[in-house]
Amino acid sequence: MKNVKLSVVAEKLKSVGIDLKHNRFLILQGEVEQIAMMPPKGDDKKKTEGMLEYLEDIIGTSRYKEPLQLLETKIAAVDEQLTNQSRMLSNATKEKDLLEGLTMR
């Protein structure tokens, strides 16, 4: 028997796609029925987890939810700024055209 550091084993498992960080690579026999009875998607109001959330946890994509929400908020703010700037440009263009029309008379 050879002694190996945990970090070496973890790296080897990670290299073949087993995510030890979320620790959901193993489904216990007692969980099979519970998993089979899960709804397709959880309910935020009831704070119940569905199959989608369970799979996201296993795969590890649930860690991206918060950063994505922050990015969506930033995108919405930039989009609002763009809309305001576009409206201001349009108004300024109309005023410029109006003033040019008055000076040409």
Measure the CA–CA gap between 59 and 51, rounded to whole angstroms.
12
Give residue-wise pLDDT tens across range 72-93: 999 999 999 999 999 999 999 9
Question: Is the domain of 44 the same as that of 72?
Answer: no
Whether pTM > 0.75 for this model: the answer is no
Question: Is the domain of 70 the same as that of 100?
Answer: yes
Q: Which residues lie across from 19 on neighbouring strands? A: none
Give residue-wise pLDDT tens across range 2-49: 888 888 888 887 787 776 666 655 666 667 778 788 888 888 787 788
Q: Which residues lie across from 48 on neighbouring strands? A: 43
Question: Is the domain of 2 the same as that of 37?
Answer: yes
Measure the CA–CA gap between 80 and 84, rounded to whole angstroms.
6
For CA atoms 7, 12, 14, 20, give the dihedral sign. negative
pLDDT of residue 102: 80
Helices (H), 1-105: 6-15, 31-36, 51-59, 65-103
Structural domain including 74 reads 63-105
Question: Is the domain of 46 the same as that of 68?
Answer: no
Count of structural domains within the chain: 2
